[in-house]
Amino acid sequence: MSFISYLINGLGLGSVYAIIALGYTMVYGIAKMLNFAHGDVIMIGAYVALLSMTHAGMPVLPAVLISVVACTVLGLLIERVAYKPLRNASSSLAVLITAIGVSYLLQNIALLMFGANAQTFPSVVKWKGLSLAGGKLTISGETLVTIIVCIIIMIALILFVQKTKPGQAMRAVSEDRGAALLMGINVNGTIALTFAIGSGLAAIAGVLLCSAYPSLTPYTGAMPGIKAFVAAVFGGIGSIPGAFIGGILLGIIEIFGKAYISSQMADAIVFAVLIVVLLVKPTGLLGKKIQEKV
Amino acid sequence: MENVLDVKNLGISFGGLRAVNDFSVSIKKEQLYGLIGPNGAGKTTIFNLLTGVYKPDSGKIILDGTDVTGKSTIDINKAGIARTFQNIRLFSQLSVLDNVKVGLHNNHSYSTVESIFRLPRFHKVEKEMNEIAMELLEVFGLKEDANVQAQNLPYGQQRKLEIARALATKPKLLLLDEPAAGMNPNETEELMEMIRFVRDHFHMTILLIEHDMKLVSGICEQLTVLNFGEVLAQGDTSTVLNDPQVIKAYLGE
Amino acid sequence: MLKKLSKQKISDIITYGIVLVAFIVMQILINAGQISSLFEGLMVPLCTYIILAISLNLVVGVLGELSLGHAGFMCVGAFTSAFFSKCMQDTITNSIVRFLIALLIGIVVAAIFGLLIGIPVLRLNGDYLAIVTLAFGEIIKNIVNVLFIGKDSKGFHFSTKDVMALNMEPDGKVIVNGPQGITGAPKDATFFIGFILVLITLFIILNLIHSRDGRAIMAIRDNRIAAESIGINITKYKLMTFTISAAMAGAAGVLYGHNLSNLTANTNNFGYNMSINILVFVVLGGIGNIRGSIISAVVLTLLPELLRGLSDYRMLIYAIVLIVMMLFNWAPKAIEWREKYLSFKKNKKEAVK
């Protein structure tokens, strides 16, 4: 029984990673940049939802909605002010370092506004969850909701990218930005849209993460951000199903590692698995192999 | 061994596509040999096979009597094949002089310890390298630009620098991949002079890919025409260029 | 040709000169009591950061590969050497001798780690290499945090659980205490030693760059395929660069570890935060620009201290300064603007494509 419960917890944690990783992977696929500040957008999203619920006394759904809107705007703002001017910089490291600067900035803004102390995040899920096998196996409402939300988001994103015009534009830009521009696709708009979607997802991830692990500090987003980045690379960065699979696997490995090997070594295990996967498949599980033409 | 290069029945497939099939050629010492054919005929693939970028799935490559089939790019360069690229590949941030000095890397050596402590051998070998590199640059009229960053050279000069760098490795066979691409008629004329000069001055054997027929008929002594990965015609330049099959392949039906 | 050589030499001499003058000025100020003890305490870490920055620049700027695990090698150097020094504290009483042996141990072990990690990972490129190095750095930090080592009359005891699991005799002494790290290792590092180490690192790196090996490494950075075509052994040079860089990070770690009475491994000193901070030094100072790395390491380390008066706002300002400087230095529009209004340099020859 404990095996199944670990597995389900792993799925829950993995679903959060997957939602964050989707944001990472879409931004990477289209803007070819590692958005190191993505994890901190999660944290901002969680604070906005928290304030809406506790200070403004809003019900859950409007609070989450406000958080999504706030993060979307934040994502667009970051992209416009900090990343877009560096899009054609001579080194791709420039925008990476700027993203790190944005990450510090968001953390310190949160630190000034909300303080360093951990705040308790009230769960947005009121459902008690399921109790199966005569009470031997309980699944929390948070876990179930997280898994369901993650699946819905993934399917919606795949449909969006495959079926809609803006989605096709995204694919075109990620395939070949120059060619997309020549075909009359609004490249800047498409990149901004990608940031908007990724950041909106980050808000949802933040709310779900803090519902499951209810302690919120200005640094809450950093480690899940890194882990989700690992998940995105793990699944093959740039691939939406890859991010989903990578996130889920990472969550399961982390929970199993904690349960069966060592709780202190869980992170090391996660990173070790990543290394092994990349050494065997250098572009991740679902990544495309690219070879330079001579 | 009179032939510098002997290629026998070389072939490679990518997926289901036979990119090069049953390709054979012999090139004599100090010959200027042309490889021509329509786009996609497999010319650059042959260069990539000769330099070990791709491993052939059939056939043999004999360089100056030594079998180099299946060897790595690095070993093939050490064995004596150097090349230039269709889309120029210079060390863009290094100076013109340093580009050539990288070419001298394997034939002029001192250890890492000698370089860190600036031991006498470092100074001696560096001086040697500078002299050789400057001589090469002088041949190509690049001496004045020795300290310019390679990426700041004009296009035509970049092509020349690429040839100088290849020659610095002291090859037995020099492969030039579309050296005249992007040049105007005057520059092409100058390039033809230069290729002849390289052959005479360095006693070099040269195999070149080119689309510019004026250059091909002007300097190549022998030709191989490639079409769909196979040899269409082979022999003296004038004979090959008058071959009805070749004319058909170039001009279409 | 001669002109170029001397130009390069002059540039190197300026770099050495800046380091030397900065050291002398600081030393005079310290002796005159003009420097707060807080500031003075920053001098050894500052030397550490300079070594880390210039050694990472070797990988990022000269080889052109992105590594986010530099702090991992620093961690290896710090812990192995502090372990040695703590064990030998009573055996070798001369602190200079003890530090030199510790330094050697830290460098060698970090170099071995660099080599062993480099062999599998250097096949990867770009962002994949970055994430794998980050992963290795985190693993190293994580392992150090679960390591317990004690010593008693019967010899060494190891555990990855806790102190009790060491099963030591009553006379046993805990040396490495898991998350609490190594406590009470001798503080053998001084500002002077740090300064000497910076000079040595600088000497090795500058001489390496302006040599046959350095040219080969930069050739790989500029065009791997062309480098291969003229017989440059890519794997050898990538590994060599990575190993040398790791060894230097190890030396930085030794310096860092011997400046603390309580050596622990957390995210900020040996985790990815540190790796990223070093990368910030490198990129802000100019990729491939060794002197720039030194200057930016100094400025960015001292900046938060100089802003201390602003207390809570200092890291916020730091972040904003970082973003603005990156935009100013790298955005094509900003570069255009600078060239138009602030141009002191003569026009470069335009490359025709």
Q: Name C157's bridge partners.
A: C150
- What is the reported pLDDT for C347? 45
- From the CB of residue C104, how many other CB atoms can be counted at a distance below 10 Å? 15
Distance from CA of C213 to the nearest CA of B (A): 7
The tens digit of pLDDT for each residue in C14-35 reads: 999 999 999 999 999 999 988 8
- From the CB of residue C348, how many other CB atoms can be counted at a distance below 10 Å? 11
Q: How far is CA C300 from CA A250, C305, C323, in A?
A: 35, 9, 13
Instruction: Tell me which residue of A89, A29, A61, A50 sits closest to A287, measured CA to CA.
Output: A29
Under 8 Å between Cβ of A247 and A14: yes
Distance from CA of A294 to the nearest CA of B (A): 8
Strands (E), B16-142: 17-28, 32-36, 58-63, 66-67, 81-83
Q: How far is CA C91 from CA C158, C260, C297, in A?
A: 22, 20, 37
Secondary element (H or E) of residue B9: strand B3-14
Which residue of chain B is at minimal alpha-carbon distance from C203?
Answer: B116
* Chains touching A (3+ CB pairs < 8 Å): B, C
Distance from CA of B85 to the nearest CA of A (A): 8
* C chain contacts of residue B74, beta-carbon cutoff 8 Å: 228, 231-234
The type of residue at B182 is G
Distance in angstroms (rounded) separating the CA atoms of residues C250 and B106: 31
Closest partner residue to C229 (CB to CB) among B77, B101, B130 is: B77
Residue C93 has pLDDT above 90, yes or no: no
Cross-chain Cβ contact B98/C215 below 8 Å: yes
Choice among A44-53, A74-83, B235-244 with the minimum mean pLDDT: B235-244
Average pLDDT over residues B194-223: 94
Instruction: Tell me which residue of A255, A247, A254 sits closest to A272, measured CA to CA.
Output: A254
- What is the reported pLDDT for C353? 31
Average pLDDT over residues C273-296: 92
Mean pLDDT of chain A, nearest integer: 90
Residue A132 has pLDDT above 80, yes or no: no
Which residue of chain B is at minimal alpha-carbon distance from A291?
Answer: B53
Task: Characterize the bridge pairing of strands B81-83 and B66-67.
Answer: unpaired
Beta-carbon contacts of C255 under 8 Å, excluding residues fewer than 6 positions away, are C44, C47, C48, C51, C189, C193, C194, C197
Distance in angstroms (rounded) separating the CA atoms of residues A85 and C323: 11
Distance in angstroms (rounded) separating the CA atoms of residues C127 and C108: 28
Distance from CA of B90 to the nearest CA of C (A): 7
The tens digit of pLDDT for each residue in C172-194 reads: 888 999 889 999 888 999 999 99
- What is the reported pLDDT for A264? 83
Pick the most confident of A37-51, A126-140, C82-96: A37-51
Instruction: Tell me which residue of A179, A202, A264, A253 sits closest to A27, measured CA to CA.
Output: A202
Residue A289 has pLDDT above 70, yes or no: no
Cross-chain Cβ contact C216/B97 below 8 Å: no
The tens digit of pLDDT for each residue in C208-234 reads: 999 999 999 999 999 999 999 999 999
The tens digit of pLDDT for each residue in A157-206 reads: 999 999 999 999 999 998 888 899 999 999 999 999 999 999 999 999 99
Cross-chain Cβ contact C333/A85 below 8 Å: yes
Which residues in A have their CB inside 8 Å of a CB on B?
294
Which residue of chain B is at minimal alpha-carbon distance from A292?
Answer: B53
Choice among B1-5, B181-185, C284-288 with the minimum mean pLDDT: B1-5
User: Which residue matches tokens 């694919």?
Assistant: A171
The tens digit of pLDDT for each residue in C308-351 reads: 777 778 788 888 988 998 999 889 988 888 888 875 544 444 43
Distance in angstroms (rounded) separating the CA atoms of residues A275 and A285: 12
Choice among A132-136, B4-8, B190-194 with the minimum mean pLDDT: A132-136
- What is the reported pLDDT for B92? 95
Average pLDDT over residues A24-40: 90
% of residues, chain C, pLDDT over 90: 60
* Chains touching C (3+ CB pairs < 8 Å): A, B
% of residues, chain C, pLDDT over 70: 95
ipTM above 0.90, yes or no: yes
Give the pLDDT band of residue A208 (cuts 50, 70, 90).
Answer: very high
- What is the reported pLDDT for A293? 66
Cross-chain Cβ contact C138/A271 below 8 Å: yes
Domain positions in chain C:
1-32, 45-305, 307-353
Residue B253 has pLDDT above 60, yes or no: no
* B chain contacts of residue A294, beta-carbon cutoff 8 Å: 44, 48, 53, 85
Interchain CB contact of C330 with A (< 8 Å): yes
- What is the reported pLDDT for C169? 82
DSSP, residue by residue, B163-220:
HHHHHHT--SEEEEESTTTT--HHHHHHHHHHHHHHHHHHT-EEEEE---HHHHHHH-
The tens digit of pLDDT for each residue in B11-56 reads: 999 988 899 999 999 999 999 999 999 888 899 999 999 999 999 9
